Amino acid sequence: MKETKSIPAAGIRELVTAVKAQMSGLGYSQYTIDRMDAVWKNLASYCEEHNDGLLTAESARGFVWDLYGAVLGEKDASQNVNRAVHILLDFQQFGMIFKQSHMTLKSFSDAFSPLFEGFLEKQRKDGFAEGSVRTWRSRLFRFEYFLANSGIDRFSQVELHHLNAYIETLAGFSSGTVGGTIKLLGRLSDYALANGWHSRSFSGSLPDVRRTHSYRLPTVFTPEEVERILASVDRDNAQGKRNYAVFLLVARLGLRISDVRLLRFDSIDWQNRRISITQKKTGVPLELPLPDDAGWAIIDYLKHGRPETDCGYIFVRHTAPFDALKNSFRETVVKAVQKAGVKVPADKPVGMHSFRHSIATAMLSNGVKLTEIAQTLGHTTPESTQTYISTDTELLRQCALEVDL
């Protein structure tokens, strides 16, 4: 049986040279190699400054956080950086490069296709969403690649130590990804036993890695940080004009990004400076005053940025066919936060929702009642707004109840 072997300790620049040679042999394009190499050069300089030129998981995490304000393994604007770092760590520890399956692979090999495709079809029939099935397909591609490089050419050869070895390769990913993958392998093992692909199931022997559900305080920007983030948006181009107007509607009014994406021309009463929508999440109508800066930003976008299109929504994509926006703007926010020099703790997520938390916190600090904040944010009950109290320690003290002893 072919064993995976770690690469002997070497300086990071030697490691990069070896990885580039293997990537070339595997058929990666020079463009992809150069794109990875741009990250590796920065990583090498970082390791030489902080870790005597040696790459470790700890130095990799420090590199991603210090330079990008992100966490290694989390999908965000630094996804390409994470990919480059993982390639080096995988090659250093396992002597192989895991292909970026969802982009480079289109189908399973003949040896594993009947089992994997049958398993995925069973998940569809059991009612799982197509998006979940796509995620599982991508994870199975990676698993198949590991098996092939371990000398496994049929699933009946898989033993528990193979599965545990594969789980070790997930060490750099989030607990959610690791836990989800282990559950996937367990269900696959059960399916393989039930359909004659293996003589036993390993589902009861796999480690139990649970995602931590402890409550994380939401990301909150100070009013000064909000202005710095808004100022960081480049409004000299069409897409920047769109993003700036979108940011203002969320930052000034606390609108959900889902409602901003669906904003129509008849949603705005320009004469009375009002926005009227029916919220996508709750189905409840909401009417709010239109701030002057947000109004002018929308006008600037409509006159000088919006592509020619018959789409009925105000904000549209800037690539053909110029239809409705679909993304969550998370990566756009992350880039703006980084450009503005706003540091966010590693355990706090960043996205458009951060602006909602920020405006609610500012209102709380100014003494606005929860009922009024709930009305502004479009919450159906004040209880939904109480999450925002946890962002302010002083407000928590004020809301504490006396306990009779």
Active site residues: 256, 280, 353, 356, 379, 388
- Amino acid in the structure at residue 9: A
Assign 208 to helix, strand or coil: coil
- Amino acid in the structure at residue 179: G
Q: In terms of DSSP H, where are the helices of 150-288?
A: 160-168, 175-194, 223-231, 238-253, 257-261
* Helix (H) or strand (E) run with residue 51 in it: none
Assign 183 to helix, strand or coil: helix
User: For the stretch 372-403, what's the b/e string if a residue is b when 16 or more beta carbons lie within 10 angstroms of its beta carbon?
Assistant: ebbebbbbeeeeebeebbbbbeeeeeeeeeee
Rg (CA), the chain: 25
Tell me the β-bridge partners of 277: 286
Helix (H), strand (E) counts: the chain: 17, 3
- What are 138-143's contacts with CB under 8 Å, separation 24+? 138/101, 138/102, 139/101, 139/180, 139/181, 139/184, 140/108, 140/116, 140/184, 140/188, 141/99, 141/101, 141/102, 141/105, 141/108, 142/98, 142/99, 142/101, 143/185
- C-alpha 381 chain-centroid distance: 29
At 68, list the tokens. Answer: 């990008």
